[in-house]
Structure 1
Amino acid sequence: MSNEQAWEAVVVSKSRAPLDGSNLYRRVTVRHDDGPEEKIRVAREAWKQIEVGDRVMKEAGQDPRRA
């Protein structure tokens, strides 16, 4: 999904890892309301607030956040 799309979804898992060997990336896997799952990168503060089972939303041009 592009940054200009808006959506809502439910968090099904959280992960963080140094995928490039030096930077720590925080990701959540979300299940969109229409069915498909997607891994998305989130900012550190959002990752700390979001828990599995939470609803998250993303408005067009914005970062994902807890709904």
Structure 2
Amino acid sequence: MTKHEDAWSGTVVKKSRALLDGSNLYRRLTIRLDDGTKIEVKVDRDLWKSVEVGERLVKQEGAKPRRG
């Protein structure tokens, strides 16, 4: 999983969640950035539940991703 702290914008192409360590549920979104590359980002429950594949997300530097 790529950890991106910088600003980016892109489209959700996949939603996933897993109990990787057996006790914590991790929610991830695969994002296709505007330049065509794909990244995976961990997101909180509220954002994960509110977005669908095909929706656009924006992240400002130092902030959490948001719909945009």
Q: Which runs of 5+ in 2 are unaligned?
A: none
Residue 52 of structure 1 pairs with residue 53 of structure 2: yes
Letter in 1 for 2:44: A
Change beyond 3 A, Cα 1:28–1:2: closer
Provide the identity percentage. Answer: 53
Shift of 1:66: 1.1
The aligned counterpart of 1:28 is 29
**Contact preservation (8 Å) 2:4, 2:41:** no
Aligned residues: 66
Distance in structure 1 (CA, Å) of the matches to 2:28 and 2:67: 14
Distance in structure 2 (CA, Å) of the matches to 1:17 and 1:56: 21
Name the SS of the counterpart of 2:46 in structure 1: helix
Q: TM-score, normalised by structure 1?
A: 0.92
Distance in structure 2 (CA, Å) of the matches to 1:2 and 1:15: 18
